[in-house]
Amino acid sequence: MPSPDTIPIIVALLAAVSMLGLLAVVFYSRLDKSFEGQKRLAAIGATSPAKGRSARSEESKRREIEKTLREMEEKQKSVKSARPSLIVRMRQAGLSWSAGTYYLSSALAGGGAFAVLLASFDIGLLPPLGFGIAAGLLGPHVYVNIRRARRFKKFTKDFPNAIDVIVRGVKSGLPAVDCLRIVSVEAQEPLREEFREIVEDQTLGLPIDQAVQRLPERIPLAEAKFFAIVVSLQSRTGGSLAEALGGLSKVLRERQKLQGKIRAMSAEAKTSAVIIGSLPVIVLVLLNLSSPAYIEPLLMTFAGRLILAGCVAWMTIGVLVMWKMIRFDF
């Protein structure tokens, strides 16, 4: 039993405890929020170095990508500015000729054209000689260019399928080199030969990105440059090769669709250019067959030949202008 003197003290203590409890109940939520805020600040402070490292890694990755693109752009500019040599052009055309074979073909073409014209037409010595020189200079050159353009066209047509093979192989777990080897064995020419060159370069110790970068030097097409850029960026900066090549395959197929639309839209203009360019020659031949006396002054007199040469020059300029107008580069 407490004494009468301690009862006021006990009551005061109990009142103080009750007041503190009441204050705690009223202000607990605010105190708890402040504690949570401090905890969150502490957590942010603890994780900020990781975020800083992530930001720094993203920045370094971006700089690496820019550096790679800059290097490849400079390299491609140097390759593009340099005119391909005769041996390179024949290699791009899929021909195994040497320089001596090419010059021998030029001599045979020129000599054959000269002999045929000299034996077939009584027009003197100078015209057959001029046509022979033109045939010797232009004949093998045009043949190589036609073979080269056909080979590039076939490469462009089959290239998306080869990329799809690589994408499926990488997704199934095969190394990229094995996927390239599959293309070098199973694909059609010229893809088989070009990818065989890549595999052989990689087998000899060249890194895969550098081996792929040599592809645009052999096939100077935008598709080959895109492929080299994607592989080089993936090898230097990381990432999913299958995803990157899958996007490239879609882009190449869209380019092929666009090329088809351009050919369809420009077919009428090309047909008109062919008709307009060939019509004077057809009319001249028909007049020569039906009325030789009517067309004889144009062919036999100096003034007529001068007019005919001027007409040929102007028609050639007109055909070249039309051809330039209906060609689309993208």
Q: Any idea where the domains of the chain sit in the sequence?
A: 31-82, 88-239, 263-330
Give the model confidence (pLDDT) of 284-328 as tens digits.
888 888 888 888 888 788 888 888 888 888 888 887 887 777 776
Mean pLDDT confidence for 12-31:
55
Cα–Cα distances (Å) from 278 to 70, 282, 283, 320, in that order, read 48, 6, 9, 13
pLDDT at residue 114 tops 70: yes
Q: What is the pLDDT of residue 52?
A: 47
Judge whether residue 47 has pLDDT over 50: no
Number of CB atoms found within 10 A of residue 127's CB: 13
DSSP labels, 123-188: S-SHHHHHHHHHHHHHHHHHHHHHHHHHHHHHHHHHHHHHHHHHHHHHHTT--HHHHHHHHHHHSP
CA distance 82 to 77: 9
pTM, entire model: 0.64
Q: Residue 201, Cα to own-chain centre: how many angstroms? A: 21
Which one has a higher pLDDT value, 144 or 67?
144
